[in-house]
Amino acid sequence: MRGQDKMNSLYKKVLKKITPSAKEIRAEKKLVEEIRHKLTKIKGKHSHLEWCGSSARGTHLKGDKDLDLFIMFEKELPAEQLEQEGIRIAKTIFRGHKWEKAYSQHPYLRGEINGFEVEIVPSYIVPSGKEKQSAVDRTPFHNKYLLKKFSEKQKQDARLLKQFLKGINAYGADLKNCALPGYGVELLIVYYGSFDKAIKAIAGWKEKETILLEKRERNPREDFFTPLIIIDPVDENRNVASALSEKQYEKMKLAAQKFLEKPSEKFFFGTSITIWSKQKIIEELKKREFMAIQAEFPKKILSDLVWGQLRRYLRKAANQLEEKDFIVKKTDLWSDEDKVFFLYELKELNLSKTKKVFGPPVSDKENVKKFLEKKRKIISGPKKENGRILLEVEREKTNAKQVLQEYVNECKTQESDGMKVCLRKAKVLTEKDLLEHYKGALAEHLTKYFEGKEAFE
């Protein structure tokens, strides 16, 4: 079988697994029409219903049960009334079904109807995405833009690229994975033309790769500073790839390169890993200096907001260690949205009791005087070394666990509400403590961490 024939055979095999069945598509269309009909019977200030998202465009994956429905209102309606009307109408639609309130720029409802995860969002009718009155107003324009641009084959190519990124765990709009959202994936297919061309391009992406589908006066690199820049064609002031982390960007490039070298289904569906035995982990930990903070995942806060706060806290605690002279080699974060583990790999867990502190050049009398007046416990000095003043002083903190625990205790009262809940029962774990939690998904995560390579490698 020739090269391209072989690739086409692989794509056909993958598409068979990821394309929704005719029965699934009929069911979702039927539900949307039922909700649309119900909306016409509800009295209010709304205009009509817009079905948006990948299911409306025919680019969603098999088993994706998300329906994004927008109740449209005239732009003259005050924001307060938009919220009130949107919630009232959504509650009527969800009557008899489970639902919850969620938040974007303004509150909306999401819930389950007939096995589908339905979001009902109030939105303004505006002339264009640039003239939005709220962040969600541009979403209907995303739909119109892509439906106009996509061929039927490109819809299937979009499915392939979504599944490829899903297979390497670099897909989704949530902040948990800092990955690429579905809309961004679809724009890549429009820009490059096909799955094959997109993969070849991704393999060769450079720093601050820029995807510009429509004309823009300013160079996007002047306004955005993320690894990948995808300018929203319906709102030039938005980078669709803003949540994509450097780590995920590099993973996408590596996966594309490896796929081109040796294409296989494992890139689309992942591969299972063999979890290391506890004894093997113990042997590995003997080569490293490791510690963690164990905390709780806040339950009553929007998951996306929590993940943003967790990542900030991971960095802040690492900064705290570095301010006390500890060298943080690597950090990591894991949560099953019940427990949270902030993971820190250090060069050493205990520092010497003293350290050298270099001051200004000896010839700089005024600044030398200020340097010597600073409050600290001097063990020896001042003396001269390489033309600069030198002191040997006592370190404030020498134990990494103590530094982290004091910081955790301090943050229990000073952090945001979400992190206060998270840290309420938080404690610092040694390597031995961490081993007590070595099971299930955390064991899988730590195995991947210590192996230091992606599943597709």
Which of helix, strand or coil describes residue 341? Answer: strand
Domain 150-269 belongs in CATH node 1.10.1410.30:
yes
Which pLDDT score is estimated for 413? Answer: 78
Number of helical (H) and strand (E) elements in the chain, helices listed first: 17, 15
Angle at 355 between CA 351 and CA 357, to 5 degrees: 145
pLDDT at site 302 = 72
Sequence spans of domains, the chain: 17-147, 150-269, 278-350+398-451, 354-394
Condensed to tens digits (0 to 9), the pLDDT of residues 347-358 reads 999 999 988 888
- Residue 36 confidence (pLDDT): 95
Distance CA 82, CA 73 (A): 7
- pTM value? 0.85
pLDDT by residue (tens digit) across 359-408?
888 888 888 788 887 777 888 778 887 788 888 888 888 999 999 999 99
In a 13 Å sphere around the CA of 406, the CA atoms on its Cβ side amount to 11
Cα–Cα distance between 441 and 313 in angstroms, integer?
22
Please, what sign has the CA dihedral across residues 126, 130, 133, 137? Answer: positive
| 278-350+398-451: CATH, from 3.30.70.590, 3.30.70.2740, 3.60.15.10, 1.10.10.60 | 3.30.70.590
- Per-residue pLDDT at 297: 93
Q: Helix or strand or coil: residue 1?
A: coil
Q: How far apart are CA 320 and CA 293, in angstroms?
A: 13
The CATH number of the domain covering residues in 354-394: 3.30.70
Residues of the chain predicted below pLDDT 50: none
What angle in degrees, to the nearest 10, is found between the helix axes of 182-192 and 139-149?
Answer: 30
Predicted pLDDT at 394: 85
Cis, bond preceding 181 (omega within 30 deg of 0): no
- Give the model's pLDDT for residue 106: 82
The C-alpha atoms of residue 296 and residue 336 are separated, in whole angstroms, by 10
Distance separating the N- and C-terminal Cα atoms of the chain: 25
Query: Of the CATH numbers 3.30.460.10, 3.50.70.10, 3.40.50.300, 1.10.150.120, which one belongs to the domain with range 17-147?
Result: 3.30.460.10
Which tokens go with 431?
């390597």
208 token code pair: 């601050």
- CA pair distance 99, 94, nearest whole angstrom: 7
Query: Which residue, chain included where needed, has tokens 């299937």?
Result: 156
Which amino acid makes up residue 17?
K
Contact 303, 434 (CB under 8 A): no
Decide whether 278-350+398-451 matches 354-394 in CATH topology.
yes
Nearby residues of 194 by Cβ (< 8 Å), 6 or more positions away:
153, 154, 157
- The predicted pLDDT at position 168 comes to 94
Instruction: State residue 2's pLDDT score.
Output: 62
Q: How many CB atoms lie within 10 A of CB 400?
A: 23
Rounded to an integer, what distance in angstroms lies between the CA atom of residue 403 and that of residue 106? 40
